[in-house]
Amino acid sequence: MSTVIDDGLDAPTAVDRLIAIMTMLRDKQHGCPWDLEQTIKSLLPYTIEEVYEVADAIENNDLVELEDELGDLLLQIIFYAQIAKEQGAFDFQDIATAISDKLVRRHPHVFPNGDVQQFGIEQDISAQQVVVNWEAIKELEREEKRKKGGKQAAQEGESLLDDVPRALPAMERARKLQKRAAQVGFDWAEIAPVLAKLKEEVAEFEEALASGNLERMSDELGDVLFTAINLARHSNIEPEVALRSTNRRFETRFKWIEVALLAQGKAFKDANLEELDALWDQAKENCL
């Protein structure tokens, strides 16, 4: 005999229905065994995967796939909220309230005095000033968090870089570290010194390569990559986006070479480096 559950499936909004379904999936008596096993930490790999699948749909300009992937990403948020609710920490409404309050707080040029009722009052402000104000407000928020940290945080000392998440992919974390340091003037004002620094780091890697010291080579190559990311930042280019684009071009050109070799009755192992190099040049001309 089945148990009747107040399932909320007739909830007024699609989000309410999704929350109700997740609640049922986590029901200790009737829920899904896999969903019940999950924790906030165990969901992390799935969340990261979903973010990259969203990025892939955007890069492919596939709006049908994007709709589906955004749903998967929303599910992750609902999942975290349900687990946190069970632990008495917060729920989805708390998440939505917090981000709504943050948006209003960080857009005083849209919501004067932090009041949504004053929306529509004209404000004379440039896009650049919006960015400046945004960073200033974020710094005030960080200061409030530091104050809440209490005596232990004060005793351990604080750094401007402390709240740059260590779990970020290395490329994105490098960009954020550089951006944060730039806020206090630890940065070049022009791009020319960044280019010069990149050449310097490449030269130092060449020296390390000649030494054969793997640890030194790794350190110097890390410096090359870090400086290349800095160059991207100064060029207003997202390094992750640029590298993903390069990956796609490489993949397209490599596949073109595979087809060209197949047309000749050959495989990669049948062609020498000179032939492959010539085919690569042809691929560059034939592939966007």
Residue 7 has pLDDT above 70, yes or no: no
DSSP letters spanning 197-228: HHHHHHHHHHHHHHHT-HHHHHHHHHHHHHHH
Q: What is the pLDDT of residue 288?
A: 62
Q: Tens digits of per-residue pLDDT, 116-169? A: 887 878 777 777 777 777 777 777 777 777 666 654 444 455 788 887 888 788
> Does residue 46 form part of some domain?
yes
Residues 18 and 41 in one domain: yes
Q: What is the pLDDT of residue 154?
A: 46
Tokens describing residue 235: 């060029």
Mean pLDDT, the chain, integer? 88
> Does residue 148 form part of some domain?
no
Nearest-CA neighbor of 223 among 204, 195, 209, 240?
A: 204
Q: Is-above-0.85 flag for pTM?
A: no
Residues 218 and 258 in one domain: no
Q: Tens digits of per-residue pLDDT, 31-83? A: 999 999 999 999 998 998 999 899 999 988 999 999 999 999 999 999 999 99
Tokens describing residue 27: 């029901």
Domain-terminating residue out of 88, 106, 124: 106
Residue 218's domain spans which residues?
170-237
Q: Tens digits of per-residue pLDDT, 215-247? A: 999 999 999 999 999 999 999 999 988 998 999
